[in-house]
């Protein structure tokens, strides 16, 4: 059993383009320490042990000539091949989880774990509460296209490789639907952070 500090750990997840970054910013303003799992994943992609394992386990060449990860080839593979995506996740997730645990142990306040693949990595096991942000697929695709400068086809491929709205709703303690305005999303997130802080204070007092 991992010995974690006595702080509240909130898992934040949901679809790409649903609005997690905005919700994350609200939690930051509310005093939460943010652990960004995508950042940890990018650091993992520079780990020599991880790169050696990727090279050994995949028949396709996912490494550049200089030995670094070919991110474009990797993204194309994991977004279009479910079996290969599963293999890639089984390799990278233990590295990511170890990095997350190290950051949690050094946290100074309550933690928001920004984790798009929270359930795949089994990170719900260390979270006190799960918050998901979801939106209609058309809205998600529109936001991804604008944010990442990709084609509609690429946006659809990315979303089809992810779980749908109901998956997140069924597995979350709180769900924020972001099908309206940015102001409405921020307001919903602010109300949620206040509720979480209040509930945490009540638990401490009992």
Q: What is the CATH number of the domain that holds 40?
A: 3.40.50.300
CA angle 34, 39, 40 (to 5 degrees): 95
pLDDT in tens, 147-179: 999 999 999 988 988 899 999 999 999 999 999
φ, ψ at 122 (rounded to 5°): 65, 30
- Domain presence at residue 139: yes
- Domain presence at residue 1: no
Q: Which residues pair with 111 in a beta bridge?
A: 9, 33
- Please name the residues in contact with 203: beta carbons below 8 A apart, sequence gap of 6 or more: none
pTM: 0.84
pLDDT in tens, 66-91: 999 999 899 888 888 889 989 999 99
b/e code 145-182 from CB counts within 10 Å (16+ = b)? beeeeeeeebbbebbeebbebebbeebbebbbbbeeee
CB atoms within 10 A of CB 184: 13
Domain count along the chain: 1
Classify residue 54 by burial, with Cβ atoms within 10 Å: 0-12, 13-18, 19+: buried
- Domain presence at residue 2: no
- Tell me which residue range forms the domain holding 106: 9-205
Residue 90 has which token pair?
């089984």
């Amino acid at each position: 059993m991992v010995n974690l500090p006595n702080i509240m750990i909130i898992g934040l997840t949901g679809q790409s383009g649903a609005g997690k970054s905005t919700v994350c910013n609200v939690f930051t303003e509310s005093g939460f320490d943010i652990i960004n799992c995508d950042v940890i994943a990018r650091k993992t992609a520079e780990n020599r042990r991880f790169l050696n394992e990727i090279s050994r386990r995949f028949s396709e060449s996912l490494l550049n000539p200089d030995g670094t990860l070919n991110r474009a080839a990797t993204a194309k593979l994991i977004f279009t091949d479910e079996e290969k995506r599963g293999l890639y996740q089984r390799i990278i997730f233990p590295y990511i989880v170890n990095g997350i645990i190290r950051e949690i142990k050094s946290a100074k306040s309550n933690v928001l774990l920004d984790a798009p693949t929270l359930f795949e990595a089994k990170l719900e096991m260390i979270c006190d509460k799960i918050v998901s942000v979801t939106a209609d697929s058309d809205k998600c695709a529109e936001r991804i296209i604008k944010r990442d400068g990709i084609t509609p086809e690429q946006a659809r491929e990315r979303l089809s490789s992810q779980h749908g709205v109901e998956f997140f709703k069924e597995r979350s303690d709180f769900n924020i639907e972001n099908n309206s305005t940015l102001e409405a999303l921020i307001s919903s997130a602010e109300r949620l952070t206040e509720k979480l802080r209040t509930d945490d204070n009540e638990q401490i007092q009992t």
